[in-house]
Amino acid sequence: MTRKVVDLAGHVFGGILTVRLHGVWWWTLGMTWEFIKLRGLENLMVDMMMYPDWVHRMMDFLCKAFHRRLDFLEQNKLLSLNIGGSYVGSGGFGWTEQLPGPGFDPDHVRLMDMWGFAESQETVGVSPEMFKEFVFPYQLSILERFGLNCYGCCEPLNVRWKYVKDFPRLRRVSVSPWADVRQMAEYLENRYVLSLKPSPSPLAVKKMNEESVRNELARKLDQSRGCCVEVIMKDNHTLGKNPGNAVRWCEIAREEIDKLY
């Protein structure tokens, strides 16, 4: 069936686009999403206080399961490169000259040839120290297997950066609408990609407030000056029945970027 779909795409788009067979087996490898689907968000946070040993057992169980899945995909040559124009992390593209890794075989993509990604936005309500104890070591075990790594989604990482920075080969870091942009810029400097994610809320109404959009972009771009910045508009579940909001937002973003750079 897969081959039939590839052949159909080649027939439709041949001569216009390059058709490739590209498998995507996960979005996040963070594990807390799976924990909550099994146990519930409130229960997870209560369990960290009331049943910490059980939380560790559950995270260890999930971590081992994730490793087994990655082993299977790698051993059976089911992985695809996610560099270049491929979507990686929680928004953006995997442009890099550091991947794939040494000894790369195009017929057998390894985890070390790929971008890894994890986040734990579900645990935004717990302290950095609880993140360190219950989440970080298990995510570290997974991310150690990848050539380069992205981290974070909607959680404000400035409050847990002292632990997040220890993930191996970390290159791209999410700076969400709830993050302290100035503080993250001080942490990241030009050593990481600062994935700046302005709020999508202004685009969700029929008539976008362009002044508000411009002010937000100008302020956050100024706060991140000197960093390696990518600007990502995402989580647009609605555009207020006005698709032109997305077009106009991009125009404003380019205008503000041109003013600074």
Is 167's pLDDT higher than 90?
yes
Q: Is residue 134 part of a domain?
A: yes
Tell me: pLDDT of 69 over 80: yes
Whether 1 maps to a domain, the answer reads: no
Q: With bands split at pLDDT 50, 70 and 90, how would you rate the model's confidence at 261?
A: confident
- Looking at the structure, do residues 41 and 133 belong to the same domain, yes or no? yes
Confidence of residue 227 (pLDDT cuts 50, 70, 90): very high
Residue at which a domain ends, from 153, 171, 189: 171
- 49, 150: one domain: yes
- Residue 73 — pLDDT band, cuts 50, 70, 90? very high
Same-domain pairing of 76 and 128: yes
Q: What angle do CA 114, 115, 121 make, to 5 degrees?
A: 150
Burial 117-150 (b: 16+ CB within 10 A, else e): bbbbbbbeebeeebbebbbbebbeebbebbbbbb
Write down the H helix ranges in the chain: 2-13, 32-39, 41-50, 52-75, 128-134, 136-143, 161-164, 181-188, 210-223, 244-260
- When divided into structural domains, the chain yields a total of 2
Assess whether 53 and 158 both reside in one domain: yes
Whether residue 11 lies inside any domain: the answer is no
189 domain residue, yes or no:
no
- Print the domain residue range for 142: 22-171
**Per-residue model confidence (pLDDT) at position 14:** 81
210 and 157 part of one domain: no
Same domain? 99 vs 160? yes
Q: Is residue 185 part of a domain?
A: no
- DSSP annotation of 202: G
Same domain, yes or no, for 259 and 159? Answer: no
Quick one: pLDDT band at residue 165, thresholds 50, 70, 90? very high
Percent of the chain with pLDDT over 90: 87
In terms of domains, do 146 and 205 share one?
A: no
